[in-house]
Structure 1
């Protein structure tokens, strides 16, 4: 057992076990009714199996989409990722996805639990080369630090509970329409409210019981990021993640400006797509240091974080600041980064087009 894991962790594992047990019991009971029952109980068995299918634990699909890059398409990017993973004692990543989002993540998918690294261009484009290494170090850190939230047992149970919560939520979609039946609405609300509240309570408890362990995993991932890329690079990456609102403002403004343009040629459109990232970098670079400090102070005042699963960002920054300065274990040269940028040219244009057309 990892140090620091106690009753809360065992409680979370127990809730996950109960979720999986309910799914198994529902499947077995419904199958038994379907085989041995009469017409009515067989119908109930069919409904039960359908519900069990909807709430079953999912392993996640290994993605093959427009944002997925193969090793043949991006050998230098994979090479950098492999170096970071090796430094942390992890396995080479199975797939890298590059998306338009202001984010980065690491996870496993499919029956074979293959690893997937997702890099959001809206974040990647704003980082220095060494800060990019820091982000990779943090994400790969989740693959080696034993984060139980990302494991199959707890992760699938949490996703199942979310589906329970959604499926049992009394729907108001038909209310107010010509075909709405007020009596049926009331009946369904009464039938669903108890399981809905139970699912909500279970989700809340699971989050509460895993919060401390999850935040510990985030701090450990930050430590691994420091080890791979240096404290300065890790802090630089962390500071950039606090500029999400400014990034959203810039991209929305650019999308609105492009929508107001008259039709242009394909070559001009491609140039505009790639220029989006340059304009974003210039906009973020124009934010004065005093404004960045003000935002950091506000973040500390309001205890803001990336999401509810992460510790407050200012506490993470404080931890990084206490680490002894030392050379980075993994560095990236300018030619190597230029090669990576070249590999991302097509996906950068595609991502910019998506932002422009949907922003």
Structure 2
């Protein structure tokens, strides 16, 4: 989707109907005015209906995101002005060292990234999580007691069996690698030693440990999660995002994901994280059924009180943890800048804004692969897929990124309902002194990593074009 001279000429020859300034864009991209924002966001958005919990998440995410931006940027500026960028601690801050910024960008060493002990909300969230798990334990204990305490015959043993069955259904669940990966390629250390060496170096730089596996997918995303009782870490690496990033932006995105564990994100912890999973299971189990008869109406009526109670507990746990989770996102951005540099971390924010465009490009590749006739194109359509995706990303002009940044600010764009607004993350990164990368992914090392990803990438590309 490259701009031609003709396209540029058409855009340059048009004046803004609002202020008369020459507009930018045109052709494959939106024509808009950088001076007055005319037509900057012409799309009519069809908002998806959201439940109460999702609406609450988004509302709190915006509010806390703005509050924390003001707090972190103000702290960083005060720290830089006082000359404490080398790690001196301000008042009302937890002890320890971290990877946040003593600079206005939030990416140096010192105050913003300092490790903080659990505050009041964190303690209350932990207590609430214990109570959630306590309900499951109580159901199991009560069921066993009814079965073995010689209550005799009748309904009590049956009630005990029902309580045990409920405890089993509502128990905390731990993800399994097979479920996380599905049919996607999984890389281990012996499969990709250069990639894992890079991952280990980034993890050490941001202050945490590495991971066991890497799952290669097609989406425009990257994430680190855990599986199993022992909480083994696994990276899901979406090639739709990876291939549009520069080498330093790749270091930054990995630094961000590891940063969540370096800064102790409450929601990723075993206690609170599993409580969220349990509450989600309870909510699903108690969800009202479509009323096809009197029995369904009766079941919905009986399950309404516990369902409302579960939603209330979930809302409370959201409220207690979301501020800490928002802070963790900002600090993970600081880790991204510490590893890959401020410029790369800010560039990553821009790439997140075009993830929808990348997904659209992948969709067009699927359509093209399915509609080719005879010898119109004889080569395997999976060959070169990721190179074409990379070329698409590289073709997006600077003025389109600027437009998307303005649209993101207007819409309050977030990666999801738990992230702070993207424009605030970008502003915190770029608002002060630039921080140099501590890990430089040079061309030779980058090529070595790409060589290890080539085989899995082709397998994923073939799965994509098959649809």
Query: Under a length normalisation based on structure 2, what TM-score does the superposition of the two structures give?
Result: 0.71
Counterparts of 1:68 and 1:323 in 2: how far apart (Å)? Answer: 40
Residue 298 (structure 1) aligned with residue 407 (structure 2): yes
1:293-314 deviation digits (Å, cap 9, x = unpaired): 1111111112111111111111
Residue 326 (structure 1) aligned with residue 439 (structure 2): no
1:93-124 deviation digits (Å, cap 9, x = unpaired): 22222222221111222122222122111110
Offset at residue 67 of structure 1 (A):
2.6
Residue 114 (structure 1) aligned with residue 238 (structure 2): no
Offset at residue 4 of structure 1 (A):
7.6
Compared CA separation, residues 41 and 357, structure 1 to 2 (3 A): farther
Q: Does the 8 Å contact 1:5/1:213 carry over to 2? A: no
Residue 218 (structure 1) aligned with residue 218 (structure 2): no
- Higher-Rg structure is 2
Residue 75 (structure 1) aligned with residue 193 (structure 2): yes
1:304-347 deviation digits (Å, cap 9, x = unpaired): 11111111111110111034223311111211111111111121
1:145 to 242, 263, 268: 263
- State the secondary structure of the residue aligned to 1:345: helix
Equivalent residue, structure 1, for 2:86: none
Counterparts of 2:315 and 2:394 in 1: how far apart (Å)? Answer: 40
Equivalent residue, structure 2, for 1:97: 215
Equivalent residue, structure 1, for 2:379: 268
Counterparts of 2:277 and 2:210 in 1: how far apart (Å)? Answer: 26
Moved more, 51-60 or 307-316: 51-60
Residue 125 (structure 1) aligned with residue 223 (structure 2): no
Count of paired positions? 349
Residue 170 (structure 1) aligned with residue 170 (structure 2): no
Q: Does the 8 Å contact 1:106/1:143 carry over to 2? A: no
Counterparts of 2:393 and 2:212 in 1: how far apart (Å)? Answer: 32
Moved more, 155-164 or 64-73: 64-73
Q: Does the 8 Å contact 2:342/2:436 carry over to 1? A: no
User: Aligned Cα RMSD in Å?
Assistant: 2.1
Offset at residue 355 of structure 1 (A):
2.2
Offset at residue 285 of structure 1 (A):
2.4
1:257-307 deviation digits (Å, cap 9, x = unpaired): 21223589xx933xx213221222222222222221111111111211111
Equivalent residue, structure 2, for 1:203: 314
Offset at residue 214 of structure 1 (A):
0.4
Q: Does the 8 Å contact 2:219/2:359 carry over to 1? A: no
Residue 26 (structure 1) aligned with residue 139 (structure 2): yes
Offset at residue 218 of structure 1 (A):
0.8
Offset at residue 141 of structure 1 (A):
0.8
Residue 43 (structure 1) aligned with residue 158 (structure 2): yes
- State the secondary structure of the residue aligned to 1:251: helix
Higher helix share: 1
Stretches of structure 2 lacking an aligned partner (at least 5 in a row):
1-93, 95-114
Query: Under a length normalisation based on structure 1, what TM-score does the superposition of the two structures give?
Result: 0.91
Moved more, 14-23 or 106-115: 106-115
